Amino acid sequence: MDVSWRRAVTDGDLETVRRLLRAGAEVNARDRYGQTALMLAAHRGHREIVEELLRAGADLNLTAKYNLTALMLAVVAGHATVARILARAGTDLRVKGTGAPGFYGKTAADLALERAMHELYEELKPSDDR
């Protein structure tokens, strides 16, 4: 992932994100940690950038370290609005984290429940759990 692309996403610079996308930035490019722009924006709670990346075709179900998706990163950081946007866009709610004890075997719903985000938990439960 290009440094200017990463910086624009992490800083919440929507206009630069739009400009870089128009210039051909790879929407699913990964940084050295395996994170995509969508993951970075979700973890920081940048709603408008998340929406822009989704319009540009960002893959909702890519995972990074510990098998975490952008949705899971939004939940971990406490960004319920962004998590709802990602869930409603079609993120696979059955994905489970790996590795670290705080993520192993847990879905986004499990992570929401652990963080006392009860309304979000109900929205994120995979349909086979409802």
- Single pTM value for the model: 0.94
Helix (H), strand (E), coil (C) string for the chain: CCHHHHHHHHHCCHHHHHHHHHCCCCCCCECCCCCEHHHHHHHHCCHHHHHHHHHCCCCCCCCCHHHCCHHHHHHHCCCHHHHHHHHHCCCCCCCCECCCCCCECCCHHHHHHHCCCHHHHHHHCCHHHC
Which pLDDT value is given to residue 21? 96
Q: Which CATH superfamily is domain 3-129 in?
A: Ankyrin repeat-containing domain (1.25.40.20)
pLDDT by residue, tens only, the chain of 130 residues? 889 999 999 999 999 999 999 999 999 999 999 999 999 999 999 999 999 999 999 999 999 999 999 999 999 999 999 999 999 999 999 999 998 888 999 999 999 999 999 999 999 997 765 4
For residue 130, the model assigns a pLDDT of 46
